[in-house]
Amino acid sequence: MKKFAVLILILFTGISAFADVQCDKCSDIMSSMYYNRAALYNVLNLTPDQVKCKDVIDKKRYEALKEQSIQLEQEKYVLSKLTSGNASKNAVKKQQKVIKNIEKCMNQTGKKFDKEFKTVLNSDQKSKLNTIRKIQRKDLKNCRKNKRLYKQDKNLRPFGVYETEQTSLCPVHKKWHIFGIKHKK
């Protein structure tokens, strides 16, 4: 019961201070999304009728996503307060689950409006859009692959720092061995 009361206090005291910061983040996210989509529309060479339909669809998209992004930022704020406080692991996991569900809902909303936008395009524009999306997925895949490839090994020791003498030096002549090859006793 105490944890529930603490959560309610965090919500009521933190949202007023959070509102100004949260609005800036939401506007930044929305503006970056707008510019990314504007570049995509520029590549597709839309006709004036398609531009009108696109504007209506985008207006609906941004209204729906704005509400969800505000909710997402509020839930992330609550999660940060829970992790900085003495909340239980179960409460933190529940909050992470709520955030994950909101993100999933945002993705579904975006896909719904993308599908609606595809109905406006002709076949050439659809093929161009599919190739652009394919290239984006490929770039994302390569980025993730490189991130995993260059991830630092936790077991590697820093340069110039030696382990204890018993495990790293040969007991026979007190020198380092290449590739861990040791003498027979």
| DSSP, res 185 | -
Domain that holds residue 23: 2-120
Query: Residue 29 domain-assigned?
Result: yes
Domain count, the chain: 1
Amino acid at 135: I
What's the average model confidence in pLDDT over 11-37?
55
Least trusted range by pLDDT, from 62-76, 91-105, 144-158: 144-158
Least trusted range by pLDDT, from 31-40, 70-79, 174-183: 174-183
Q: pLDDT (tens digit, 9 = 90+) per residue, 125-161?
A: 999 999 988 988 888 888 777 766 666 666 666 666 6
Query: Residue 129 domain-assigned?
Result: no
- Residue closest to 26 by CA, chosen among 67, 55, 80, 76: 67
Least trusted range by pLDDT, from 61-65, 95-99, 108-112, 159-163: 159-163
Query: Residue 16 domain-assigned?
Result: yes
Measured in degrees and rounded to the nearest 5, phi and psi for residue 154 equal: -70, -25
Angle at 61 between CA 50 and CA 129, to 5 degrees: 50
**Whether the predicted pLDDT of 22 surpasses 50:** no
Query: Residue 104 domain-assigned?
Result: yes
The pLDDT confidence band at residue 18, using thresholds 50, 70 and 90, is very low
Query: Residue 166 domain-assigned?
Result: no
Tokens for 99, please give them: 């955030």
- Residue closest to 92 by CA, chosen among 100, 101, 84, 83: 83
